[in-house]
């Protein structure tokens, strides 16, 4: 559809480890429209992270295609994918998206290549981390790190926000702050796709997609 900011068609992803072959994605098609929050849920091992990595251009599907707006992301050299990602995508991974030797402010400035820049101070205030810009990632708690990661992911005002368990380590109040920020992205006409096990996160979604054994469950 014209209003889709992110879509994928018939995604397949195989992994081979020794004699063992895993079909992690078996023909997944989905789309996220402007203004929409989509949550992807499913049991452990159902393919959620594999899907997120393919949608983010951090992994290449073995079959099918990923499209961002009118631009194909998949089946391109890694450098081109990185360029498209920096323009159009914000990604929050469980493994973190901050460089360890840079302060939070420097991490924010590093990724700010877009025209619609927000000041690091404003971004940090939105995620409840005012005055922590001069801290190094190792000086933040797990919950603070998750919020700093979100600030970095949205700092370029991307069309699409992709997040793996965005509220994984947060207490109730901070979780609400993060969920409000995520909803606000959609209200501003961006698209959001979240991978989660949390009922609090699925409650803010407009649509919930369940993965089962690499497929979208009916
Ligand atoms: N790099 C890899 N090499 C081999 N197998 C992999 C690799 N990455 C994922 N897999 C396998 O692909 C399947 C899907 O894994 P994935 O991490 O996408 O599941 P998930 O739904 O995100 O699980 P969880 O909720 O536990 O994070 C699993 O069987 C997993 O073991």
Domain spanning 35-58+84-213: which CATH class is it, in words? alpha beta
Q: Per residue of the chain (218 residues), what is the pLDDT tens digit?
A: 558 999 999 999 999 988 889 999 999 999 999 999 999 999 999 999 999 999 999 999 999 999 999 899 999 999 999 999 988 999 988 777 788 888 998 888 887 765 556 677 888 988 889 889 999 999 988 788 888 989 989 988 899 999 998 888 778 888 888 899 999 999 999 999 999 988 889 999 999 999 999 999 96
Q: 178, 170 in Cβ contact below 8 A?
A: yes
- In this structure, the number of other CB atoms found within 10 A of the CB of residue 169 comes to 15
Q: Residue with the nearest Cα to atom 24 of ligand 1?
A: 44
Ligand 1 neighbour 24 (Cβ under 6 A): yes
Rounded to two decimals, what is the model's pTM?
0.90
- Provide the residue ranges of all domains of the chain, joining segments of one domain with +: 35-58+84-213
**Contacts by 131-134, CB closer than 8 A, 24 or more apart:** 132/104, 133/103, 133/104, 133/105, 133/108, 134/103, 134/104, 134/105
Q: Residue with the nearest Cα to atom 19 of ligand 1?
A: 45
Measured CA to CA, the distance from residue 196 to residue 163 in angstroms comes to 9
Ligand 1 neighbour 22 (Cβ under 6 A): yes
Q: How far is CA 5 from CA 111, 123, 180, in A?
A: 21, 23, 21
Q: Residue with the nearest Cα to atom 30 of ligand 1?
A: 45
Write down the ipTM of this complex. 0.97
Q: How far is the CA of 54 from the centre of ligand 1 (A)?
A: 12
């Amino acid at each position: 559809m014209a209003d889709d900011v992110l879509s994928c068609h018939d995604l397949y992803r195989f992994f081979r480890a020794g004699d063992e072959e895993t079909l992690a994605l078996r023909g997944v098609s989905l789309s996220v429209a402007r203004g929409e929050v989509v949550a992807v849920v499913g049991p452990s091992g159902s393919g959620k992270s594999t899907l997120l990595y393919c949608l983010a251009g951090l992994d290449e599907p073995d079959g099918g295609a990923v499209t961002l707006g009118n631009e194909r992301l998949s089946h391109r050299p890694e450098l081109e994918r990185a360029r498209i990602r920096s323009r159009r995508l914000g990604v929050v991974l469980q493994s973190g998206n901050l460089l360890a030797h840079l302060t939070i402010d420097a991490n924010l400035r590093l990724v700010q290549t877009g025209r619609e820049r927000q000041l690091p101070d404003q971004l940090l205030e939105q995620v409840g981390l005012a005055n922590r810009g001069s801290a190094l990632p190792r000086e933040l708690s797990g919950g603070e790190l998750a919020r700093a990661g979100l600030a970095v992911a949205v700092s370029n005002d991307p069309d699409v926000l992709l997040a793996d368990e965005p509220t994984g380590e947060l207490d109730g109040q901070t979780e609400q702050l993060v969920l409000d920020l995520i909803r606000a992205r959609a209200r501003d006409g961006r698209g959001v796709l979240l991978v989660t096990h949390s009922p609090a996160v699925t409650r803010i979604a407009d649509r919930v997609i369940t993965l089962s054994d690499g497929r979208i469950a009916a």
